[in-house]
Structure 1
Amino acid sequence: MNRHALSLRLPLRVLAVLTALAIGFLSWTGTASAHGSVVDPASRNYGCWQRWGSDFQNPIMQTQDPMCWQAWQTDTNAMWNWNGLYRENVAGNHRGAVPDGQLCSGGLTGDGRYRAMDTPGAWRTTNVGSSFRVRLHDQALHGADYLQVYVTRQGFNPATQRLRWSDLELITTTGRFAPSSYMEVNVNAPGRRGHHVVYTIWQASHMDQSYYICSDVNFV
């Protein structure tokens, strides 16, 4: 049986999934050499990729994980390229480069690819205490000039509000990290309960490349 005849016998949904997986895989492998993200507590797009990357067309996502659903519908490449949410040549002026309301998309970086990350709603959270660890996966071993970790102030509501700089408290700024697969930062953010956003800025060392990463947590 020739390839064309075989493809006609496959269900259309299977063909669609295989095609999208192939496109996403090519996109992911093409960018992996220069990227990374916070994997614990998982960034918004990394978490969506982790939970649904092999089943991203499953309609059950719409009810079980609605924020990931809207993200996959908006731009699948935001999840395939979970490791590419950065801007170049910011020169440390993060507030000037990333406007209020666009913090989770890095100022609509990548031609707006990550814009769904800015959407308020019931993002899946990771349970944490007042002291916890932020773990960043540095795929390309760039190292860091520094990491800055912010946490939203009590009273901010990620379900209804877009993130602004004034909603954040700077918890820590680290020193340099030598190239390594993972970088870890201990965070102490007392006086918080419920759903909050951890906002991590990773200033990579290999060039002026700044990553902007939103992770959702639930203080218990």
Structure 2
Amino acid sequence: MRSHTSDQSGGRPRSTVRRSLQALALLFAMLASTLTWTGAAQAHGTIINPASRAYQCWKTWGSQHTNPAMQQQDPMCWRAFQANPDTMWNWMSALRDGLAGQYQARTPDGQLCSNALSRNDTLNQPGAWKSTTVSRNFTVQLYDQASHGADYFRVYVTKQGFNPTTQRVGWGNLDLITTTGRYAPAQNISFNVSTSGRTGNHVLFVIWKASHMDQTYMWCSDINIV
């Protein structure tokens, strides 16, 4: 019978020790990769009030994403999580590089809420997204962990008669209501908007042009104007 040579610490075969060390090395490599990805994902921001679709899902279900109640209580978030959990976990990094201001030309109708990112396509789906109740004049709040600042924000709202439960958002569904000026780097930025003449359920669409480089973020927030 073939014998195994034991190490000096406790008689374990060297082949077993070697396999254990290889497994540990692989585990550390995976952890390092995860930490690097997480850091990158957290280096950006989103509209937190009225909550963007991905942020609303994370805020409500991030700590209880295995709760089966999500399917009944918040079916749009449940569908998004089933399609790609990254849509919820990576709510800070819905960005595209190098658009050079060509937002409409390079963002097809029906893909605005995902910023034309295929991994987040469920955010474009019409349905019973949870909405934030607002008045006709309200404040939009951005949270930006890395304090990039803004060249500007462009804020749109859907036209009266648009139905977010049955329609994807396209450029023809929107009216531009606000274009802001520049904002210095800060984690929290807010500005006021007016949706005069509109009531009921709408989609607020925000474009954020970050100041540090040509990075563009786009989000949809569901609102109920009262």
SS for the counterpart of 1:150 is strand
Query: Could you give the per-residue CA deviations for residues 11-46 of structure 1, whole angstroms, max 9, x where no partner exists?
Result: xxxxxxxxxxxx98874333212x110000000000
Aligned to 1:30, which of 33, 40, 44? Answer: 40
Deviations 1:135-191 (A, max 9, x none): 001111110000001011101000000000011110010110000011111010111
Structure 2 residue identity aligned to 1:181: Q
Letter in 1 for 2:41: T
1:156 aligned to which of 154, 162, 165 = 162
Partner in structure 2 of residue 197 of structure 1: 203
Matched ranges for 1:1-220 at <5 A: 27-33=37-43, 35-107=44-116, 109=117, 112-220=118-226
Percent identity of equivalent pairs: 52
1:116 maps to a residue whose letter is: T
Letter of the 2:204 counterpart: V
3-state SS of the aligned residue for 1:95? coil
CA distance in 1 between counterparts of 2:42 and 2:54 reads: 15
Partner Cα distance (2:91, 2:114) in 1: 11
- Partners of 2:162 and 2:207 in 1: CA distance: 20
What amino acid sits opposite 2:195 in the alignment?
A
Per the alignment, do residues 25 and 61 of structure 1 end up closer, same or farther by CA in structure 2, a change over 3 Å counting?
farther
Q: Give the aligned residue type for 1:95.
A: Q
SS in 1 for 2:41: helix
Tell me the secondary structure at the aligned position of residue 93 of structure 1.
Answer: coil
**TM-score where L is the length of structure 2:** 0.83
Unaligned runs of at least 5 residues, structure 1: 1-22
Distance 1:77 1:133, change over 3 A: same
What is the CA-CA distance between 1:66 and the residue it aligns to?
0.6
Once residues 24 and 58 of structure 1 are traced to their aligned partners in structure 2, the CA distance between those partners, rounded to angstroms, is 24
Q: How high is the TM-score relative to the length of structure 1?
A: 0.85
CA-based RMSD: 1.4
CA contact (8 A) 1:24 1:77 kept: no
How many residues align? The count is 194
Corresponding residue for residue 20 of structure 2:
none
Task: Specify the SS of the correspondent of 1:50.
Answer: helix
Find runs of 4+ consecutive structure 1 residues off by over 6 angstroms. 23-26
Paired amino acid for 2:128: A
Instruction: State the distance in 1 between where 2:189 and 2:64 align.
Output: 29
- The CA distance in 2 between the partners of 1:146 and 1:200, in whole Å, is 10
